[in-house]
Structure 1
């Protein structure tokens, strides 16, 4: 999802594995609450699209909400005060702030992926990051060890991993993620799916 515009779509999000393995997993606070929302808000938080962020700041829900932040196909090169303010507002609402990292379907080097993860943590602070949205995930089982390495690395930082193949994956992938997005589109298309 390298585009920088808000996509209004329905995401079928699947909880994975034993949620007790990650103490940061919000599902642990309410194991009966399997419904959650993922909101990819790739707009800049002030200016032309500020109203989209305001909608999120005013959202009232009892469901778990994950908000994906993506300033520049990843963390960018410096801290942006407008994103810091937006993140603080999201955290104050009790939403989980998830950071965007792409993998080019397993073609991007692991060092580039871990560099993005480290940059997110150093620029915006580990306490402001609940997890990572790993995008452009290959559903090829031959890439399993690649994604296992990413999961192990992120998990060692105490953060959640949300994989986004946007399609069906081998069941083995459910061992290396906290959530998997297996469908991206509108609700009508999901009903037909």
Structure 2
């Protein structure tokens, strides 16, 4: 059975049942991406801290969402977000979003990876959203090599890999993805990651 990497971008106070379902599904999860405000936010949010603690207690990786802006964000700003996720929410991993696919940025993201490990990150996920250059593979534990709608995904023949992950939205309940770590959700539009994956339907 595939493991689920779940980016769930809703506030715990507004969707307590959905967050409880994630905690209950702990054995099926690769990890949950914590994203209070397109990153850790400007100050600690007690509701996110509480649910992150419940996830960790259930044995779930908590990955702090950090935007790399395709290499345009200054290194110090990215690292500051990693540290806030660690200090405020006890995140034990990093979900680095908007990572480039081309080889020119590999050295920059190697340095970010080193900083993340030094800050205590046990799991490092790069979200490229498309197939990246092979030089990125040694830098992270998991590479997201597709993020997009089902209509696009089903037309592609993506390379297999046990360290690749596919994130698919606007997906039907019977969608079948081709990676061991994955997430297919029904939501679409500008905010698809406000819905739980089909695989967890019926757990609430």
Identify the TM-score tier after normalising by the shorter chain. 0.7 to 0.9
Aligned residues: 155
Does 2:136 match 1:173? yes
The runs of 5 or more residues in structure 2 that have no matched partner are 157-204
SS at the partner of 2:95? strand
Task: Indicate the residue corresponding to 1:131 in structure 2.
Answer: 93
Which residue of 144, 154, 172 corresponds with 2:106? Answer: 144
The alignment's TM-score, normalised by the length of structure 1, stands at 0.73
Higher relative contact order (CA 8 A, sep 6+): 1
Deviations 1:7-45 (A, max 9, x none): xxxxxxxxxxxxxxxxxxxxxxxxxx9x43110011000
Cα-Cα RMSD: 2.0
Q: Which has the higher helix share?
A: 1
State the distance in 1 between where 2:62 and 2:9 align: 13
2:184 match: none
The separation in 2 between residues aligned to 1:92 and 1:60, in whole angstroms, is: 10
Greater mean deviation of Cα atoms: 164-173 or 148-157: 148-157
In structure 2, do the counterparts of structure 1 residues 75 and 181 end up closer, same or farther at CA, with 3 Å as the change threshold?
same
Match of 1:44 in 2: 11
Partner of 2:62: 97
Contact 2:129 2:148 in 1 (8 A): no
CA distance in 2, matches of 1:161, 1:180: 9
Trace 1:14-93 onto structure 2 (pairs within 5 A): 35-47=2-14, 49-59=15-25, 61=27, 63-93=28-58
Post-superposition shift, 1:188?
6.8
